[in-house]
Amino acid sequence: MIDLRRVTELWQRCHVTVRDLPFGLLLAVVSLLPALHGKGTQVGDLPARPIDELAILVIALQTLPLAVRRRWPAVCLVLVSLGFALDQLHAYHVFASNAMPIALISAGAHLERYRRVTVVLLSMAYVPLALALSRLGATERPEGYVVFYLALALAWGIGAWLRSTRATEAERRHHIAEATRAAERTRIARELHDVVTHHVTAMVVQAEAARYLTAAPDRLDATLSAVTDTGRRAITDLRHMLDLLKADHDTDVGVPTAGGLHTLVEQTRQAGQPVEFAEEGSPAESAGSAEFATYRVVQEALTNALKHAHGSPTVVHVCYGRKEISVTVSTDGPGSRAASFGGSGRGLTGLRERVEALGGEFSAGRQAGGGFLVRATIPAGSPS
């Protein structure tokens, strides 16, 4: 059996001239049928003449150029107009004369340069044609010529409207593509910030602590091992991010989820931050993006605790409800300032955008009694 889809694909791959040629050939063949003689467009109402050798040329001039009506619209319009003028002056009135409005529509839609010049020249050429038809004995009244000119102008206007619509659609798609690229760049920057900041902060804190452990070789070795492990995890996560940037990557490539919170908390503890972790309930199977956002909220909050309140007690509480996931991360007191690094606030801003994009709520700020509190409520069941 013939695969129509494959045939359609092969046809679409053909050059536009090849795809436009069959219509012109069909119109030429139809124009040679005796039953359609005199059924074409008539300007001036001259009596129809029988088809002769010149009429064949007139038919060819009006039909075959339609093959290039999109590739070279100006050439098509000139040749079809010449054939149309010969057809009217010799009163063949072949069916092919109906190609004139088609050529005008195509030119209005696809002509890129000298559009106004084309309209002026065609309008000027129409006047001598009307005068020549009158001298040949045409019975058409002046208002008839005006109506026919307006019909031709309407055909051009239809083509111009199609051109404008196509340009508007192209502009819309361009804006959508730009917005999509910008959103993707923002998403990638956010993910890189979350991954790199957390691991690098932990490594810096651990390295700072190692300075004071030179007199305790066992603790120094453990601290340096923790730095090494954190660096390896950072490399693994960065490789994962690079895999996500590949065009042919699988969308389900082990993205960190709330199930890895225990590991995240343990890593923070190894960096010297006392963290108390509590979970209520269990994540739903369809948590998806909500579970991932939960992980990022906890990760960023713990990173900030390491940065700005190193050594201060930190409490992480995650509650999995049927409709939402609640996350609270609180840090007491200012802690040690030895590991307090400057921050741009980009991480918290990114978290707010991530949570609000899922329809949740996010807040972060200092507590009345001191310390810092991060709170997020994320609707559950948002598939990733």
Strand partners, 320: 325
Domain locations along the chain? 4-140, 176-379
| pLDDT tens sequence across 123-140 | 999 999 989 988 888 888
pLDDT for the residue numbered 83 = 93
348 and 297 Cβ atoms separated by less than 8 Å:
no
Q: Rounded mean pLDDT of the chain? A: 81
Residue 285 to residues 194, 253, 268, 297, 356, Cα–Cα distance (Å): 24, 17, 27, 20, 21
Count of helices and strands (H, E) across the chain: 11, 5
CATH code of the domain made up of 176-379: 3.30.565.10
Q: The dihedral of CA 11, 12, 14, 19: what is its sign?
A: positive
Residue 341 has pLDDT above 70, yes or no: no
| pLDDT tens sequence across 69-120 | 999 999 999 999 999 999 999 988 899 999 999 999 999 999 988 899 999 9
The DSSP 8-state label assigned to residue 48 in this structure reads: P
Confidence of residue 333 (pLDDT cuts 50, 70, 90): low
Alpha-carbon gap, residue 329 to 325, rounded angstroms: 13
159 and 74 Cβ atoms separated by less than 8 Å:
no
The DSSP 8-state label assigned to residue 365 in this structure reads: E
Alpha-carbon gap, residue 226 to 211, rounded angstroms: 14
Alpha-carbon gap, residue 134 to 97, rounded angstroms: 19
pLDDT for the residue numbered 146 = 92
Alpha-carbon gap, residue 108 to 128, rounded angstroms: 23
pTM (2 d.p.): 0.56
Alpha-carbon gap, residue 314 to 198, rounded angstroms: 16
| pLDDT tens sequence across 20-44 | 899 999 999 999 888 888 788 888 8
Alpha-carbon gap, residue 342 to 92, rounded angstroms: 87
Alpha-carbon gap, residue 332 to 370, rounded angstroms: 6
User: Which range scores top for mean pLDDT: 154-163, 176-185, 241-250?
Assistant: 154-163
Residue 248 has pLDDT above 60, yes or no: no
